[in-house]
Amino acid sequence: MTNRALLVLNSRAVRQKAIDWIMRVPAGTRVEFKEPQRTLDQNSRLWAMLTDIARQKTLEGRKWTTDQWKVIFLRALGHEHEFIPALNGAGFIPYGQSSSDLGVREMSDLIEFMLAWGAEQTPPVEWSEPRAKKEDAA
């Protein structure tokens, strides 16, 4: 076994492998359990919403990119972010939890929060639908 491994517990065989590994690893080994990762549909919905917000809204009188809005909303939900300096000295970069690491429930909470925020704005955010995947469009 390597220093790090990831198993998705989606079958009896994989669950048995996890049990076998647990029985063989040294004391002090860390094990982390996470809920299922956010779905592709949730991810598509998130980016469509971030695009709508970036096109329609400002914060502190300024337009922000979809990536910047993502960090703003993640921080508003309590996800920790810090800003670290860029290597070339040209500003700072956000560092913290990625939306790709969110679980299904966490992503639902983020989308619901964004929907509520959008409804409270004057005028409210007009939501569009996520773009269809290439295989769906055919």
Domains parsed from the chain with CATH numbers: 1-33 (no CATH), 40-137 (1.10.3790.10)
Which pair of structure tokens corresponds to residue 88? Answer: 């070339």
Q: Where are the alpha helices (DSSP H) in 1-138?
A: 12-24, 40-56, 66-76, 104-120, 134-137
Closest CA to 57 of 124, 128, 130: 124
In the numeric block, the tokens 């929060």 are attached to 113
Q: Is the pLDDT of residue 137 over 50?
A: no
pLDDT over threshold 60, residue 1: no
Please report which helix (H) or strand (E) contains residue 35, including its range.
none
pTM: 0.73
Token couple for 13: 């065989």
Give just the sign of the alpha carbon dihedral 75, 81, 82, 83.
negative
Number of other residues whose CB lies within 10 A of the CB of residue 107: 20
3-state DSSP: the chain helix, strand, coil percent, rounded to 5? 45, 10, 45
Q: Backbone phi, then psi, for 132, in 5-degree steps?
A: -70, 145
* pLDDT digit string, tens, across residues 12-69: 999 999 999 999 999 999 998 889 999 999 999 999 999 999 999 999 999 999 999 9
pLDDT, tens digit (0-9, with 9 covering 90-100), for 80-108: 777 889 999 899 887 877 888 899 999 99
Question: Residue 83 is encoded by which pair of tokens?
Answer: 């800003």
Residue 136 clears pLDDT 80, i.e. is over it: no
